[in-house]
């Protein structure tokens, strides 16, 4: 387990140091899981692997990014993904379609990308406009190119622990990144009680599958769970993916537990600040939780950067498998 918890950490600031010990983030700095730093290091390793694969096999991984419509948040996500891909040495191709695009037209584009040998990964940014059924589009992506890991074939492979070999699962990026952060901080997760708060197809369910594979005892909690706080308090590992700002309170957390906050919620700035200002918070009340947790991811700077890094890793994995090359172990 993680180190014992003290709520009375000494304010051991040395002469000349200007640390603000009333700020819990600084006071318990060693409990913060630095997802941003981990993701940067992972992206560095991905770039080196791509260079080596290119040198040895003449292969350059290709990622096709498809965006339908003008959703501002989606535009930012897509831009960040394409920039990160290019920096790592992945050829990112951009496909922008009008908001009025029909399902048949989008599926036709996906099928064209499926048969393009220079494209190893296909990402269709969600959400899609109302006239398009996202499942129909995800089903159209070749499972070997489904770098988001949302296709039912990849979901099934993950659920049945098919994690190695040419037909192994491509795993959804966010939970994959969460597991990497947990294993980096805790080592072997075997035997730990894990509670996954949220049961979505893109986060909660694959997260539960990954933790089950890591031999955790997994509970999946959701909006119908009774006595949620009590369920969460049993967790050595608590993954919050609900989309409810700061819902997880300090007294929901077992002392010493590792807390992974997947939530990204935009809320109004604190009173006294510009009312037009907003700030990002997670699903966990970070400043209170860090006083109890043994380790915790911040928002921003925790899980978010890992999601993009894992998309790049999945693209390299997909490119290798499609070309009979052993993918790197991330």
175 forms part of the interface with ligand NAP (CB under 6 A): no
Residues shown for the chain: 330
- Residues 39-98 touching ligand NAP, rule: CB under 6 A, are none
- Residues 245-274 touching ligand NAP, rule: CB under 6 A, are 262-265
Q: How far apart are the first and last CA of the chain?
A: 24
Residue 61 C-beta: closest distance to ligand NAP, Å: 21
Q: What angle do CA 174, 175, 180 make, to 5 degrees?
A: 100
Tell which residue, 120, 125, 135, has the closest CA to residue 66: 125
Residue 198 C-beta: closest distance to ligand NAP, Å: 4
Q: Are 212 and 195 contacting, i.e. CB atoms less than 8 angstroms apart? A: no
Q: Give kind and range of the element (H or E) at residue 138.
A: helix 134-140
DSSP state of 115: T
Q: Are 121 and 141 contacting, i.e. CB atoms less than 8 angstroms apart? A: no
174 forms part of the interface with ligand NAP (CB under 6 A): yes
125 forms part of the interface with ligand NAP (CB under 6 A): no
Distance between CA 267 and CA 141 in Å, rounded?
35
309 forms part of the interface with ligand NAP (CB under 6 A): no
Q: Which stretch binds ligand NAP (CB under 6 A): 11-19, 93-101, 122-130, 199-207?
A: 199-207
* The binder of ligand NAP chosen from 143, 198, 206, 294 (CB under 6 A): 198
- Residues 214-233 touching ligand NAP, rule: CB under 6 A, are 222-224, 228
- Tell me the catalytic residues: 81, 125, 148
Interface residue list for ligand NAP (CB under 6 A) = 174, 198-200, 202-204, 222-224, 228, 241-244, 262-265, 303-304, 307
């Amino acid at each position: 387990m993680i180190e014992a918890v003290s709520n009375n950490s000494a304010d051991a600031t040395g002469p000349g140091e200007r640390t603000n010990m009333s700020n819990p983030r600084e006071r318990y700095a060693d409990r913060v899981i630095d997802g941003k730093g981990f993701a940067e290091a992972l992206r560095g390793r991905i770039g080196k692997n791509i260079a080596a694969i290119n040198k040895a096999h003449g292969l350059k991984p290709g990622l096709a990014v498809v965006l339908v419509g003008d959703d501002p948040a989606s535009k930012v996500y897509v831009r960040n993904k394409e920039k990160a891909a290019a920096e790592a040495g992945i050829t990112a191709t951009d496909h922008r379609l009008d908001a009025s695009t029909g399902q048949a037209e989008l599926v036709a584009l996906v099928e064209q990308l499926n048969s393009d040998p220079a494209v190893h990964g296909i990402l269709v940014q969600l959400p899609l406009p109302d006239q398009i059924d996202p499942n129909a589009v995800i089903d159209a992506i070749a499972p070997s190119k489904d770098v988001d890991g949302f296709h039912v074939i990849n979901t099934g492979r993950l659920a049945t622990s098919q994690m190695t070999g040419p037909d192994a699962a491509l795993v959804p990026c966010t939970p994959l990144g969460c597991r990497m952060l947990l294993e980096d901080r805790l080592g072997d997760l075997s035997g730990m009680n894990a509670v996954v708060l949220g049961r979505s197809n893109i986060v909660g369910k694959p997260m539960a599958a990954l933790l089950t594979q890591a031999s955790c005892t997994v509970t999946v909690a959701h909006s119908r769970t009774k006595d949620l706080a009590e369920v969460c308090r049993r967790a050595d590992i608590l993954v919050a993916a609900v989309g409810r700002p700061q819902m997880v309170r300090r007294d929901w957390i077992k002392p010493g537990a590792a807390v992974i906050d997947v939530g990204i919620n935009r809320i109004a700035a604190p009173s006294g600040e510009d009312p037009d200002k907003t700030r990002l918070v997670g699903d966990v009340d970070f400043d209170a939780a860090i006083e109890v947790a043994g380790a915790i991811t911040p928002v921003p700077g925790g899980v978010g950067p890992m999601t993009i890094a894992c998309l790049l890793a999945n693209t390299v994995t997909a490119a290798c498998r499609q070309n009979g090359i052993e993918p790197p172990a991330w």
